[in-house]
Chain A
């Protein structure tokens, strides 16, 4: 119950924040810009619209999660609004979960808004509604949930600017960690390769959530991939949130 109250209040806080609308505006601009890019393309123009559109949704969604998420907990401590909250009959993990779910709800609504613009653009170009796009957007959402958890984790002990940098690094590392696998294949077996293998296991692989190519090119998506990626996202998010709760539970609010 308290989790729900805090989540709804966090949602209210986020939607009354101007930065959200700024990001939403630029996301719309980028999605619409894909139409201009399509004009410059030789070949299948719809593919460019879909590609650039999905990439914009993913990027701006991540920016929203990071820029709002990293401030959520820190601001409460900094502005001392947390004093009156923790002194109420609320357990600390309930507070953190409420914050997390509130931002997830916000991101869901924002994703919905961006998807509408995106689907409308494709509709006016091809006169068909591309439901397949929703599969890719669903996985963008799962990715955003994970990034939100990461942003909140950093927000528990660090300033928004540092947390944003950390969370952004997480996002970038997550999307390029697959190249480690390539490196491992090229390196001779030994200590260096073992280290790289450990690194590759520990680092997040956000490409698991990237179904853009399959969706855009109309390739088949195996059910196992659906299942595996969803579970991966949920388990990873739960792990990060658990870590955040551990840190937050024993924290002194000075």
Chain B
């Protein structure tokens, strides 16, 4: 696998306050993204995700460290030719219409008029904004801005797409559509680097993830390697059985409207519960084995910080 993006011990601090005080945002970030994968960059708010992206794109200059795009320095305009970027909460020239907006970005890449027209038509269709092509961006909703932003990031048919919180602020349908577009990008052999603080997004589509907390990368690797398949516990909801009788079998979490939610750690005890319920002529409402999720891993890592 070729390495598309390489970051080596990047540090960045900002001076804040009236009497400037240095605050270190990135404390030596290293990661690498291989060609053709969807790489998830996961971390809580303020962990340094956006700062990392800005370093990659040359919007800010790292204090130390080294960044490479396609084996060249990241500030080289030639490497930027092959990169697409969607910022978090994108704001664009709101006096332009959707078509003019894409036209402008197409021109920045020096695309010919007919290439541009073709791409713009395809992209507007991909992101579902065909009908809004002639509308000024100031009249766009949050979700529409996100879509036109994605279209803008893809205008040069980039090999590497960097997305900062691409699913933020979208409704469930919008999230699904953007997710589908991202998966389609991978199918076309593109590399996607996306940052998010929402675990489900990453869990559903990413091949590999890096978890960043407080400016440090705590863990990096394939999703399957990071989280174990082992059943941690089983959640059982029962009714028609006295709560007291269940106490010995598992940890009772809540009782509502006669239903008790139990957390059972040993598999043998599940049989006992089933026995008991049958004897008392009660009812089992649900039985869910819980494996470790990215969320658990995440919570475990964030806690000690």
Contacts and interface: CB of A to CB of B under 8 A. Distances in A.
Contacts, number: 76
B127 interface: no
A80 B53 CA distance: 14
B228 interface: no
A89 interface: yes
A79 B80 contact: no
Contact of B59 (A1, A5, A79, A253): A253
Interface string A1-14: 11001100100110
Contacts of A9: 93, 96, 104
B110 interface: yes
Given A2-B108, A252-B60, A254-B14, A84 B90 contact: yes
Interface string B33-45: 0000000000000
Given A79-B91, A81-B92, A254-B14, A87 B108 contact: no
A81 B93 CA distance: 7
Interface stretch (B1-9, B81-89, B195-203): B81-89
Nearest to B78: A89
Given A250-B61, A254-B60, A87 B77 contact: no
Contacts of A79: 91
Given A16-B95, A89-B78, A91-B77, A253 B60 contact: yes
Contacts of B61: 250, 252
B66 interface: no
Interface string A131-154: 000000000000000000000000
Interface residue tally on A, bucketed by range: 20 to 34
B107 interface: yes
Given A1-B110, A5-B104, A250-B61, A84 B85 contact: yes
A88 interface: yes
A90 B83 contact: no
A105 B146 CA distance: 32
B105 interface: yes
Contact of B95 (A5, A13, A84, A90): A13
A237 B87 CA distance: 34
Contact of A12 (B77, B78, B92, B95): B95
A83 interface: yes
A173 to B, nearest CB: 29
A89 B104 contact: no
A202 B128 CA distance: 57
Contacts of B14: 252, 254
B259 interface: no
A254 B149 CA distance: 19
Interface in A189-222: none
Contacts of B152: 84
Interface in A1-49: 1-2, 5-6, 9, 12-13, 16-17
A225 interface: no
Contacts of B93: 9, 13, 81
A86 interface: yes
Contact of A88 (B80, B87, B100): B80
Nearest to A79: B91
A187 B152 CA distance: 63
Contacts of A80: 87, 89-91
A68 B236 CA distance: 66
A19 B152 CA distance: 29
Contacts of B27: none
A88 B59 contact: no
Interface string A74-98: 0000011111111111110000000
9 contacts: A9-B93, A84-B87, A84-B105, A84-B149, A86-B57, A86-B59, A88-B80, A89-B78, A90-B77
Interface of A: 1-2, 5-6, 9, 12-13, 16-17, 79-91, 250, 252-254
Interface of B: 14, 54, 57-61, 77-78, 80-81, 83, 85-87, 89-93, 95-96, 100, 104-105, 107-110, 149, 152-153, 156, 162
